[in-house]
Amino acid sequence: MTHMTPTCLSDGRELIYFDASPEASAAHRDVSAVADRRGLPPRGGTGDVRYDPLTGEWTAVAAHRQTRTHLPPADQCPLCPSSSVNLSEIPAEDYEVVVFENRFSSFGPDLGTLPGPEAGSTGWGTTTPAYGRCEVVAFDSSHEGSFGSLPPERARTVIDAWAQRTEALSALEGIRQVFPFENRGADIGVTLLHPHGQIYAYPFVPPRAAVMGQAARRYFDAVDGRGTLMGSVLKAERDSGERMVLEGEHFSAYVPFAARWPLEVHLVPHRHVPDLAALTGGERDELTTLYLDLLARVDGIYSTPTPYISAWHQAPLVPELRESGYLHLQLTSPRRAEDKLKFLAGSEAAMGAFINDTTPEKVAATLRAVTPAGKEAQ
């Protein structure tokens, strides 16, 4: 059972301790022991989002993020537990998992609903507050690592934290998409070595989620609600077996038939659920095991850790896309060889037309052949 202990930082931002052990939870309920002693100034106001009439998309303008911390040493890390020489973002002297509002937030803290362009108007020049919320999820108190380096019990607590925050953020005014993710590796642009991820609660459905959501809805309507697009794709991949990496009772992982990235794996629940909050305890248990197995295989391909983006796609919070939405993880990496990265050049960056340098079938076979530590090859 995961215990939650909410509190606030000295500038008013919310912080929540998530603990599997009752002892840790009890320690975090001692307000005097976990008070933020930094005396931070009041947090700044909400940034802006600007409407692009050529695409119908919103762009966040968050110039204040230029001053965020960049690759600090352990004794200055903002995600390590606080000490006498480092009063960090986490006041406690130790912790299991912590979620708190990002000090350098792209969205929020104000909440509200974005306007739609008026009929017959281009919408040019439309600027509104960047409503929403951005949170940091510190996976562990250790200074270096990633989700894949966590022990199973800690990984399970992180999954519970993702689920709880998904449910809580989904209930906030104006939120249209809740997106948990982890960036791992300097090649991805990571600015903190501490094992952590983030959760964005957007005031709009982001472009990629909108495209996927619309495709899912078209399929759902075409079959009169008797099936889902993701469920049908999952069945096709499992029936084929050619690109499968892992199969469990509740989840399966495969390299998609039309993978866009040199290394891309989808981890999908067998049951149609909209988000992490809807998973049962048994499903979360298996997700913990399979996800750690998958990350170990990804790191086992090469002699050095693989940079990746781990993106949880959850059903958008708009009625027309929610019903047909289907939770799944998309794990992608630009690494196309031991010493080579794929860069998004003309076709990908300008036109959104991806050209993959690897074959999904070969990547899947490579991942299946990796033997994670302590396991036999499958």
Each residue's pLDDT tens digit, 43-56:
888 899 999 999 99
Residue 232: is its pLDDT beyond 70? Answer: yes
- Global pTM reads 0.95
**Phi and psi (nearest 5°) for 267?**
-115, 115
The answer to whether the CB of 179 falls within 8 A of the CB of 199 is yes
pLDDT at residue 25 in the model: 83
Q: What is the pLDDT of residue 17?
A: 97
pLDDT band at 377 (very low <50, low <70, confident <90, very high): very low
Q: How far apart are CA 94 and CA 81, in angstroms?
A: 5
Residue 309, both tokens: 């983006």
DSSP 42: P
Q: Indicate the burial class of 365 (C-beta count within 10 angstroms; 0-12, 13-18, 19 or more).
A: middle
pLDDT at 222: 98
Q: Which residues pair with 333 in a beta bridge?
A: 263
The domains found in the chain, sorted by start residue, are 3-204 (3.30.428.10), 208-369 (3.30.428.10)
273 is written with which tokens?
A: 């659920």
Rounded Cα–Cα distance for residues 144 and 77 (Å): 10
* Strands 57-61 vs 14-19: parallel, antiparallel or unpaired: unpaired
The string of pLDDT tens digits covering residues 204-217 is 999 999 999 999 99
Beta strands in 85-204 (DSSP E): 97-101, 127-129, 133-138, 177-184, 196-202
* Each residue's pLDDT tens digit, 47-80: 999 999 999 999 999 877 766 677 788 889 999 9
Q: What is the mean pLDDT of the chain?
A: 94
Annotated binding site for Zn(2+): 77, 80, 143, 194
Please determine, for residue 108, whether its predicted confidence score (pLDDT) is greater than 70. Answer: yes
Alpha carbon distances (Å) from 74 to 71, 79, 86, 336: 9, 9, 9, 31
Residue 220: CA count within 13 A, CB half-sphere = 18
What is the per-residue pLDDT for 297?
A: 98
Q: What is the pLDDT of residue 378?
A: 43
Distance, CA of 2 to chain centre: 20
Residue 42 corresponds to which amino acid?
A: P
Q: Which residue has the tokens 């940034």?
A: 47
Binding site feature residues:
77, 80, 143, 194
Higher pLDDT, 46 or 83: 83
Spatial separation of the C-alpha atoms in residues 5 and 277, rounded to whole Å: 18
- H/E segment holding residue 253: strand 251-254
H runs (alpha helix) in the chain: 22-28, 152-170, 207-222, 229-240, 281-300, 319-322, 351, 360-369
pLDDT tens digits for range 293-314: 999 999 999 999 999 999 999 9
Residue-level pLDDT at 261: 97
Which residue among 28, 196, 266, 313 is the active-site one? Answer: 196
- The pair of three-digit structure tokens given for residue 280, joined into one six-digit string: 């049962």
Instruction: State whether the Cα torsion 208-166-6-286 is positive or negative.
Output: negative
Helices (H) and strands (E) in the chain, counts: 8, 16
Say how far apart CA 314 and CA 165 lie, in whole Å.
Answer: 13
Catalytic residue flag (residue 196): yes
- Reply yes or no on whether the pLDDT at 166 is more than 90: yes
